[in-house]
Amino acid sequence: MTSNINTTPSKKNSNKTLKTTQTVEKTPTPEENEEFDLTRPELYINRELSLLAFHRRVLAQAQDQKMPLLERLRFVCIASTNLDEFFELRVAGLKEQVAAGSVQAGPDNLSPQEVLNRISVAAHDFVDEQYCLLNKQLLPALEQAGINFLKRDSWSKRISKWVRDNFDNELMPILSPIGLDPAHPFPRILNKSLNFIVSLEGKDAFGRDSGMAVVQAPRSLPRFIQLPSELSEHPYDFIFLSSVIHAHVGDLFPGMTVTGCYQFRVTRNSDLFVDGEEVDDLLRALEGELLGRRYGDTVRLEVADNCPEKMINFLLKHFGLTQQDLYQVNGPVNLNRLLSLLDLVDRPDLKYPSFKPSIPTCLGRNLFATIREGDILLHHPFQSFTPVIDFVRQAASDPKVLAIKQTLYRTGPDSVLVDVLVEAARSSKEVTVVVELRARFDEEANIRLATRLQEAGAHVVYGVVGYKTHAKMLLVVRRESNKFKRYVHLGTGNYHDRTARIYTDYGLLTCNEDIGEDVHKMFMQLTTLGRGAKLKRLLQSPFSLHTGLIERIEREAEAARQGKPAHIMAKINALAESSIIHALYHASIAGVKIELIVRGICCLKPGIPGISDNIHVRSIVGRFLEHTRIFYFLNDGKPEVYCASADWMVRNLLKRVEECFPIENPELKERVVEQGLKLYLEDNTQAWVLDSDSHYTRLTPEGDAAAISAQQTLLKSLADKA
**Per-position b or e across 312-337, b if 16+ CB within 10 A of its CB:** bebbbebbebeeebbbbbebbbbbbb
Contact 228, 162 (CB under 8 A): yes
Give residue 321's region: left, alpha or beta (phi > 0; psi -120 to 50).
beta
Q: Is 329 helix (H, G, I), strand (E, B) or coil?
A: strand
Distance CA 179, CA 199 (A): 10
Query: Residue 251 has what DSSP assignment?
Result: G
Of the candidates 711, 693, 700, the one whose C-alpha atom is nearest the C-alpha of residue 15 is 700
Contact 190, 294 (CB under 8 A): yes
What are the catalytic residues? 470
Query: Residue 138 has what DSSP assignment?
Result: I
Strand ranges, E, within 137-228 = 147-149, 178-179, 195-201, 212-216, 224-226
Of the candidates 343, 320, 322, the one whose C-alpha atom is nearest the C-alpha of residue 238 is 343
CA Rg, the chain, in Å?
Answer: 27
How many other C-beta atoms lie within 10 A of the C-beta of residue 595? 20
Contact 74, 339 (CB under 8 A): yes
How many other C-beta atoms lie within 10 A of the C-beta of residue 94? 20
Residue 30 backbone dihedrals phi, psi, to 5 degrees: -60, -30
Nearest 5 degrees, angle CA 696-CA 554-CA 28? Answer: 45
Contact 289, 281 (CB under 8 A): no
How many other C-beta atoms lie within 10 A of the C-beta of residue 74? 21
First to last CA, the chain: 55
Helix (H) or strand (E) run with residue 69 in it: helix 69-85
Contact 666, 639 (CB under 8 A): no
